[in-house]
Chains A and B, each alone.
Chain A
Amino acid sequence: MSSESGLIDRLGGPLVVFGIIGLIVGGALVPYAWGISTDADGRVAVIEVHGAITADTAAAAMEDLREARQNGSIQAVVLDVNSRGGLASVSEQLYLAVKRTSQQMPVTVAVTGSALSGGYYTSIPADSIYVTPASTVGSVGVRATLPPEGAPDNQITTGPDKATTGTRSDVRRRVEALRRAFVGSVMAERDLNLSAEELSYAKVYSGRRGVELGLADGIGGLGAAIDRATDQADLSDYETVRMESPTPSTLSQIGLNGSEAASEHGTDIDMTRYFMLHGRIDALTTADPIEVKANGTQ
């Protein structure tokens, strides 16, 4: 004990020793203290929904939404939408994912180009949709390609609809069912100055006209959407985290993912596809140009 006292005394006494220890411990805690004093109240996730809505691109967006819901530091979501839609089934999945997120935290949309067809379907669960005068919204409709009629060549099937998925009347009814779901969802989510019948024309509206009709809430860009989301989340100090959508392939741009593209070469016999897409389906014109639409303009 006497030797220990001697060591402390040689170092300058107990006060100096404990002071040095305190300095070391305090220095180690500096980063934490700095973080506490300077960290934002929360984060806003800016999730891109760009390009054709395919299984690939939608999977990335839905994963981002899931991350936003599960990450406690993310307290609001802003969707950066610039999409003319894509596959109907995937558009519905994306709609449900956004709706689920909006039940948990503020979600706003900034239409940075087009929010058409499936792209608009994705946007409607948001608390607010911001557009610019030149951006476009709408095209609320469904379309489907039809398989050729008749017995399939070079195949043996167990039923007449095995290779074609159904009769054309079946496809027509399914398109109508999808239209009802799409139009009904828009009518339920938005307070429109537009009847369901008028909406079913599937017109494309400019941003300003979209605000007048209730398809959007205000004029503004990404900043306005972020401001609105942070206001709703009561965040005065926040940081944004951008989650970019994957670069779509050429095939994705026209509404197909890789696996579906393979079907064009004969590996997939299910030739009937349903789209919530504005624009041409070029890849399918050589397979079958016949199309059923659930609206009057596409």
Chain B
Amino acid sequence: MARSDLLKGLSVFALVVLVVVSATVATGTVLLESPEPVSVDASAYDDELLPTPVEDDGSVEPAVDTGTKTVIVDKSHGNDITESELQPLVDALVSAGHDVRFYAGGSSSGLGTGGFSSDSSGLNATLQSADAFVVANPANTYTTGEINGVKAFADAGGRVLMMADPVGPGSSGTSISLPVGTSTGSTVNPGQPTNLAASFGVSFGAGYLFDMTDNANNFQRIHTQPAGNGSLTAGVDRLIVDDPTPLSVDGSNQVVAESTDVQLSSTRQTGTYPVAARNGNVASVGDTGFLQPASATLADNEAFVSNLADFLASGDKEPGVPEPATPSGGGTGGFTQPSQPGTTPTLPSNGTSTPRNGTSP
């Protein structure tokens, strides 16, 4: 074979190989090119996704100046409430010159003008020198002597504020007897002042209220409106409460605030449920969350907190009431046999609102 023929053959061979390889690369590239769409149409991601922040520009005003009043906050019944959670209310009272004390049973720590004090003679003795009494989420039942003492306290002009959150499913009716010294007592998980509230015609519910549509960016944060023109809701157009429990009240109570078109978690029934009520010198609220610093200025909550501080500070209690309970009355503080251990207290027969379950405190 001639040299020229050999070169010609090699050239043809190289050209053919080049064409084949190029064609292969081109074909592969075309086949592997992704025909994927440029974008994904997720229309729900574009439609008013971000919720509107809740109005939060108010401030809690100092309580009314009525001279130095003493407000006792009960911590002696395993109350599930901390000082920091009550800070806006405490600030409103203290800044007006009032004395706020946390009674822990046998000793109490004071905030404000009164400073620290101690008292070992029980709740009733402590209330003798008090003008207002705050109860929130007690774990233990109040004894008959204590209930009588608080009733006498209120009858004498002392102001009482009872608050409770919904009772968890594990807490309902789980009364446990504990031996304490020579006597016995009853305790449950942090709950509600059921027997104390019943003596004032009030019953706290077991479930919580929620609203799936008209809420403050969460179904458990619901709107509550004033009911009537009471002083507790002066300046209030709309409150925001966090999973409140509804109240059942008798005719001696006036509903102060209620939520409409909301549902109760335990029954899923839609309706109007009282959230706050007042019976003379006794006010009841089915929530404690609105008092917390992060919630006290939402919507018109600050006006409600200020009004509650005024309510606590504006009582005119007779001195020396209640009388110290006798040991047989069980009113000397500490644990005594509860009046109705593990049972449902007598409820008001002419209640104006929702039914409730038989949760014992």
Give me 22 A-to-B residue pairs in the complex whose CB atoms sit less than 8 angstroms apart, sorted by A's number.
A72-B31, A96-B42, A99-B40, A99-B41, A100-B40, A104-B37, A168-B294, A169-B53, A169-B217, A172-B217, A172-B221, A173-B50, A176-B217, A180-B47, A180-B51, A181-B49, A184-B49, A185-B42, A185-B44, A188-B43, A296-B210, A296-B265
Whether A153 is near chain B, meaning CB under 8 Å from some CB there, is no
With contacts A69-B34, A104-B36, A104-B37 taken as known, whether A197 is within 8 angstroms of B213 at the C-beta atoms is yes
B14 within 8 A of A: no
Closest to A101 in B: B36
Provide the residues of chain A in CB contact with B41, threshold 8 Å: 99, 103
- Cα distance, A200 to B219, chains bound together (Å): 10
Known contacts A96-B40, A99-B40, A168-B294; is A295 also within 8 Å of B51 by CB? no
Interface of A, secondary structure class, is helix
A292's nearest neighbour on chain B, judged by CB, is B218
A293 to B40, CA, bound (A): 28
Q: Which residues of B contact A292 (CB under 8 A)?
A: 218
Contact pattern, A 151-189, Cβ under 8 Å of B = 1, otherwise 0:
000000000000000011100110111001101110110
Docked complex: A82-128 residues within 8 A CB-CB of B = 95-96, 99-100, 103-104
- What are the residues of chain A within 8 A of B35 when measuring CB–CB? 104
Q: Is B5 an interface residue (CB 8 A)?
A: no
Task: Report the separation of the CA atoms of residues A139 and B48 in the bound assembly, to the nearest whole angstrom.
Answer: 22
Interface centre among A70, A99, A296 (most CB of B within 10 A): A296
Judging by beta carbons under 8 Å apart, are A100 and B36 in contact? yes
Known contacts A70-B32, A96-B42, A292-B218, A173 near B53 by CB under 8 Å: yes
* Chain B residues at the A interface, C-beta cutoff of 8 Å: 31-32, 34-37, 40-45, 47-51, 53-54, 56, 210, 212-213, 217-221, 265, 294
Residues A296 and B294 in contact in the complex (CB < 8 Å), given A100-B40, A104-B35, A200-B212: no
A276 CB contacts on chain B under 8 angstroms: none
Tell me, yes or no, whether A201 is within 8 Å of chain B by CB.
Answer: yes
Number of interface residues of A (CB under 8 A): 32
A69–B219 touching, CB < 8 Å: no
Residues of A bordering B, CB below 8 Å: 69-70, 72, 95-96, 99-100, 103-104, 167-169, 172-173, 175-177, 180-181, 183-185, 187-188, 197, 200-201, 292-296
Min CB distance A164 to B, Å, is: 13
Distance between Cα atoms of A187 and B45 in the complex (Å): 12
B34 touching A184, Cβ below 8 Å: no
How far, in whole Å, are A275 and B81 apart by their CA atoms in the complex?
29
Residues of B within 8 A of A100 (CB): 36-37, 40
Give, as a whole number of angstroms, the nearest-CB distance from A134 to chain B.
26
Q: A70 near B34 (CB under 8 angstroms)?
A: yes
A176–B218 touching, CB < 8 Å: yes
A176 close to B51 (CB less than 8 A)? yes
Contacts of B45 in A (CB 8 A): 181, 184-185
Query: With A and B bound together, what is the CA distance between A181 and B45 in angstroms?
Result: 6
A292 to chain B, nearest CB (A): 7
- Given A100-B37, A104-B36, A295-B219, A169–B44 Cβ distance below 8 Å? no
